[in-house]
């Protein structure tokens, strides 16, 4: 067995340690469930995770339909993806609301109207209030670009760089009142390379997000269909 900085040989398989990522739980596979689950996606940004949810549905990896994309920001690029893939969308601009509660209630009304079963915060840059959290208990999940419980809140990737950690990653978790602290569903670890810029690191984290978010959706959807609750 030979080991240097980059390569590691085991059972004749060569791993490039600098490129290796780890997803856990390892045995998740892609959980299967019936019937199709109705998703509501909340987004504020580029919508790359939204697009990967769409792709995993198109590839038959996820037995779901997206009932609605809700964005809080009219300039959000996720809208162009909704148009491209012909997914219904609505802009509920928080700047037009008097309070967080008013905004939350409008979001919830739309989700309820469409009988959404599972809500995905896919780059939703707003804290949601208790009404939505309680209304969608065990049915509201978020993706965050760090290995929670490290680096909660805003700019998690920069927080990891500033702390000079050597491994970071991404987490899908249930949403509860305290920000970024609900039960963890799935995580992926991503090594930070010496030469990484924030952008190169963000790209590798997002590549993993695009894998784990559809898996997490399938896992939670299966829980919903079987009545199993893993959100403690």
- Sites of contact with ligand GAR (CB under 6 A): 43, 45-49, 122-123, 143-145, 156, 170, 206, 209
The minimum distance between CB 64 and ligand GAR, in angstroms, equals: 17
The minimum distance between CB 36 and ligand GAR, in angstroms, equals: 23
Complex with ligand GAR: residue 33 or 54, whichever CB lies closer: 54
Complex with ligand GAR: residue 67 or 142, whichever CB lies closer: 142
Complex with ligand GAR: residue 9 or 127, whichever CB lies closer: 127
103 assigned to active site: no
The minimum distance between CB 122 and ligand GAR, in angstroms, equals: 5
Cβ–Cβ under 8 Å, residues 202 and 157: yes
- Quick check: helix, strand or coil at residue 173? strand
CA distance 43 to 57: 18
Complex with ligand GAR: residue 33 or 57, whichever CB lies closer: 57
CA distance 31 to 206: 22
The minimum distance between CB 43 and ligand GAR, in angstroms, equals: 6
Complex with ligand GAR: residue 33 or 52, whichever CB lies closer: 52
How many CB atoms neighbour CB 203 within 10 A?
11
CA distance 118 to 98: 27
The minimum distance between CB 142 and ligand GAR, in angstroms, equals: 7
Do β-strands 64-71 and 89-91 pair in parallel, antiparallel, or remain unpaired?
Answer: parallel
- How remote is the C-alpha of 36 from its chain's centroid? 19
- Sheet with strand 22-24: strands edge to edge: 22-24, 184-191, 167-174, 140-144, 118-121, 37-43, 64-71, 89-91
Residue whose Cβ sits closest to ligand GAR: 123
Which among 94, 103, 144, 210 is annotated as catalytic? 144
Q: Is 131 exposed, middle or buried (0-12, 13-18, 19+ CB in 10 A)?
A: middle
Active site members: 144
């Amino acid at each position: 067995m030979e080991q240097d900085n980059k390569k590691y040989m085991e059972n004749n398989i060569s791993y490039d340690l600098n490129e290796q990522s780890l997803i856990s739980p390892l045995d998740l596979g892609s959980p299967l469930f019936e019937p199709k689950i109705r998703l509501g996606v909340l987004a504020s940004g580029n919508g790359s995770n939204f697009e990967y949810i769409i792709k995993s549905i198109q590839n038959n990896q996820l037995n779901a339909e997206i009932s609605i994309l809700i964005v809080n920001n009219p300039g959000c690029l996720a809208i162009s993806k909704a148009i491209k893939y012909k997914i219904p969308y609505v802009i509920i601009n928080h700047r037009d609301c008097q309070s967080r509660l008013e905004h939350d209630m409008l979001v919830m009304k739309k989700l309820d109207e469409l009988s959404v079963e599972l809500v995905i915060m896919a780059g939703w840059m707003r804290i949601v209030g208790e009404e939505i959290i309680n209304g969608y208990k065990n049915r509201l999940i978020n993706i965050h670009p760090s290995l929670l419980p490290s680096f909660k809140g805003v700019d998690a990737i920069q927080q990891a760089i500033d702390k000079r950690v050597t491994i970071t990653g991404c987490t899908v978790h249930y949403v509860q009142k305290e920000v970024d602290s609900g039960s963890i569903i799935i995580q992926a670890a991503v090594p930070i390379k010496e030469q990484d810029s924030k952008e190169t690191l963000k790209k590798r984290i997002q590549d993993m997000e695009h894998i784990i978010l559809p898996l997490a959706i399938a896992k939670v959807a299966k829980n919903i269909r079987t009545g199993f609750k893993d959100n403690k």
